[in-house]
Chain A
């Protein structure tokens, strides 16, 4: 099985916010610093190298791409000032655009579409809020139809609903 390198892949990453992807010289400080790599098969350096080599299909379908918590330890320690988290986010954006997303994440994105918040409101918290003397419904998009409509228009303009598939 031979993989055909996609030479455009790095340019796509650069266009999506990962401008420093070609700066990496593979020292491995990122992997050694990564709290996720300590627990999982996630190898930061490897993913960046795969990006440089144009291994688009492998990167965009990899589960490991989603094991980063965006703690920024790698970015802070990188001797080449590679904005590693931005590169991973760019690759995640490309993965999602190609239809690769997980159910748990889709649920969070769907909640944002539905209510303008990533966490849904419920009766328990309404009661807790009232007991504390707070407004039952926080004074956010949750309390204003006009604000929610405005918020919806922003998501429509960016095509977020289509991206999420809702």
Chain B
């Protein structure tokens, strides 16, 4: 009896239209607005309802802000989680940094009542409380696991013939004790998602190496950060990549601007949302490609 009840409940849930608060973060809306636009268009086409996440702040950034003061990082993240909870929706992010901060903070706060009490003492200053009920999802996770490859393949009207270097970034899959989406050493998720458009995902050396931007490296030691970037770019180019597809605006920025700083590389950089907008036949003018420093000619 109980089993039947829970089954019908989950069925009803799966029929309801997916609805999320769209967490913009910083780099997408303020440096690559085409990523925001493409995400809105692609989600709309796939039946995912995005509502504006009004009043949200920076996640805050897991590199510099968490490194400066964990307490501030957690309290500011909790404010974002509480804002979504008040709206009665879960969070969708398009950035691994935001995903890293918000999913990690939710993991800590949703399972630790004492910690939540401490943070709520701070949130009380602005009349808010976080009850521990917000789930944080990444755009790529929702598309892969909820929408599914079959539905995405059906939505492709403009198949792409491209050899793509997929770039997972670090905080999408790791740490795996917080979010186990795929094998962190040898994942397939993003490769499958790229290949659903007709493009092929290329093999290369050290595919899972970090782009170099995170942890405050780009903002203070950009020469070191660029060494990571160059090693990645060399491995991509050696493998014959024609484009880079990422799921994080910070990796996106590092590869897009990094290629111009390094010279000798000219692989267009696309966020998965932009690749999908293209494959679904949407207007190229809506991808915001003029914000890219490495020209995108497709």
Residues of A within 8 A of B (CB): 16-17, 35-36, 39-40, 66-73, 75-76, 83, 85, 89-90, 92-93, 96-97, 101-105, 107-109, 112, 116-122, 125, 128-129, 132-134, 138-141, 143-144, 146-147, 150-151, 153-160, 163-164
Contact = CB atoms under 8 A, between A and B. Distances in A.
Count chain A CB atoms within 10 A of each CB in B26, B31, B217 and give the residue with the most: B26
B125 A163 contact: no
B126 A163 contact: no
15 contacts: A39-B227, A71-B174, A72-B184, A83-B175, A89-B66, A104-B216, A108-B61, A109-B65, A112-B57, A119-B27, A129-B33, A132-B37, A140-B56, A141-B55, A155-B72
Given A104-B220, A118-B64, A154 B79 contact: yes
A112 B60 contact: yes
Nearest to B216: A105
Nearest to A120: B30
B143 to A, nearest CB: 21
A147 B60 CA distance: 15
Nearest to B83: A147
Contact of A90 (B70, B176, B217, B286): B70
Contacts of B26: 117-119
Interface residues of B, number: 65
B76 A154 contact: yes
A128 B224 contact: no
B76 A153 contact: no
A118 B249 CA distance: 13
Contacts of B62: 70
Given A35-B209, A104-B219, A17 B70 contact: yes
Contacts of A134: 29, 33, 36-37
Interface in B173-220: 174-176, 184-185, 208-210, 212-217, 219-220
Contacts of A101: 68
Contact of B125 (A71, A140, A144, A153): A153
Contacts of B27: 119
Q: Interface SS of chain A: helix, strand, loop or mixed?
A: helix
A120 to B, nearest CB: 7
A133 B67 contact: no
Count chain B CB atoms within 10 A of each CB in A16, A68, A97, A156 and give the residue with the most: A68
Contact of A69 (B57, B75, B170): B170
A51 B286 CA distance: 51
A156 B76 CA distance: 11
Contacts of A72: 170-171, 174-175, 184
B30 A151 contact: no
A128 B213 CA distance: 24
B215 A96 contact: no
B228 interface: yes
B219 A107 contact: yes
B290 interface: yes
Contact of B58 (A93, A104, A117): A117
B161 interface: no
B29 to A, nearest CB: 4
A140 B24 contact: yes
Contact of A105 (B64, B75, B184, B291): B64
B67 A40 contact: no
Nearest to B40: A134
